[in-house]
Structures are given as structure tokens and as C-alpha cells.
Chain A
Amino acid sequence: MSSSTLVSLLPQLASGAAHTHALGFAYDGLEGDRVRIRVPWREDLVGDPDTGVLAGGLVTALLDHVGGLAVWIALDRFEPIATLDLRVDYMRAAEPGRDLIAEARCYRLTHSIAFVRAWAFEDRPDDPVAAAQAAYMLSSSKGREPGANLPSRAGVAK
């Protein structure tokens, strides 16, 4: 069960970073351990200009991100995590002009790794546009201070 503290953070975690905000991601609810985010269709997110189908890379970003939310729900707290790897199978083209929803579930947590499955669809998870399985590293910024990636510290990082 997720604490209300984490649940209240989910909208911010879904769309609060610059990239997720630019893509228009929005929190779309939690049911048990399954969390959803939505990306409204937009012309500049299209991968095939002849059909208006959303880009595969956008679907990958959506699945990567919703998987992270599922990890925080399984942990029942926010902590820095990093995607280790992500496999996406594209089953069919997304329907042009329609919002895409992604749902994820973290089905196993170990001391350092979280295992996740996720799906992207317009209406129902059993009619997916794409399916993903991913692994995330927990406490990924352990020992790294805020700003560790900034250029002035690049020499130190090496």
C-alpha cells in the first residue's frame, strides 16, 4: 500500500522535470500497484508525418518514465533511481490524434534493483501499442552530490 505522502507527490513526479513537462506528460491515476501517466497527442511529437502516428521514441520515454513511478510506489518513497535497461516491443502504430496512456507495475524489488513491466495503449492495456520490461537501479545517486554532473565538476567525476 502506498502512503498518502508519496501518492500526493505522483503528479509532480510524473510531469515535474523539464523534459516530462515539455512532452506534456500528466499523472493519470493509481490502482493498487499499477500507476498510469498520459501523454496528449501533439503534432510535434509525431514520428511519421504522413500518418500522424506518435514517435516510437516518445513511447519509449513514456514507458521509461511510468516505470520509474511504479518503482517509487513499490518503495513507498521517493529516492533517486536510474534506468539500467529497457526493452520495448512495438505491437502496432498508435492511433493518430489520440492520447496515449502508459501503465506500469513494479513486480520485484531487490536490495539494489527494481524490475518493472509497462504497457502503452489508448483504451485498454490488453490492446497495447507497446510493451516494455525494464530494470532500475535504486539509490542511484548515492555518493553523488547535487550538481555532480555540472561542467565545473566534470574533472572530479572522472
Chain B
Amino acid sequence: MSALLDRLPYAQFLGLISDQDGETLTVTMPFADRLIGNPMLPALHGGATAALLELTAVAQVALSYPRLRLPRPINVTVAYLRSGRPVDVHARARISKAGRRVAHVLAEAWQEDETQPIASLTAHFLVAEHDL
């Protein structure tokens, strides 16, 4: 478990559960009705999927930079690849560059099939203690 996500109110609001395997976190957002953005299809709200991706990235960066109180995103870009169906969503993040001041992170979210992601995230995080 990521102790960090358990501590963050918004991660709890979304019901996020994390599972750590070595240095990699997999975060799950169990399906709940209150995540629905389009009641017709029905489809998950893109904002919920984006928040899952961003919090997964935050937790992964926190693992790599243990002395940081809380990783702060500088910017995030989310691409929505497929409609989010009313089932659980999983996400995993990878740090593509762990710099001294900035870390670059890629993350993907998927449902039943990891090879068919529903959304991807690219983000920069500020990882220097006294910047920004």
C-alpha cells in the first residue's frame, strides 16, 4: 500500500487502493456510481480518470523521492483514448526522467485489458525542496 494515498483526502474520496510490487505502484479506482460523468452510455467522468492518473503519478514520484513532503505537479497532459466503462480502473506510472529539480512522468489507465488503455498522462513534477 502507498501510505501517501491513504493520507490524501481526495484519493480517499475517489476510493483509490494501491498495491506496491517492488518499486512500482498499481493504483485501482473501484467503480462507484458517483464517478459517472455521462449517464447515457454510461461512462466515467474524464475528471475522475485524470485524477486517478495524477494521484498515481504523485504516489510514484513520492516513492522515488522519499525526502519530499509531497510531490507538486507543474503541469499534466491527459489524453482520453477510450470511453471509461462502469467498471474498475487501474493505473501505473513510470518516471522517465528523475532530475534534481524536475521529474517527468508517464502514466496509463486501463480497465480489463492493460494493452487497451483508456487514458494516458504526461506530467512534470517539481522535486526540489525550495523551488517554484
Contacts and interface: CB of A to CB of B under 8 A. Distances in A.
Interface residues of B, number: 45
| Most B Cβ at <10 Å: residue of A22, A144, A150 | A22
Contacts of A148: 41
Interface string A71-100: 000000000101111111110000000000
Contact of B85 (A57, A62, A82, A149): A149
A156 interface: no
Given A60-B50, A60-B76, A83-B80, A44 B41 contact: no
Contacts of B46: 61, 64, 82-83, 86
B37 A17 contact: yes
A2 B69 CA distance: 47
A85 B86 contact: no
Contact of B72 (A21, A43, A90): A90
Contact of A19 (B48, B54, B69): B48
Interface of A: 17-23, 43-50, 54-58, 60-62, 64-65, 80, 82-90, 141, 144, 146-151, 154
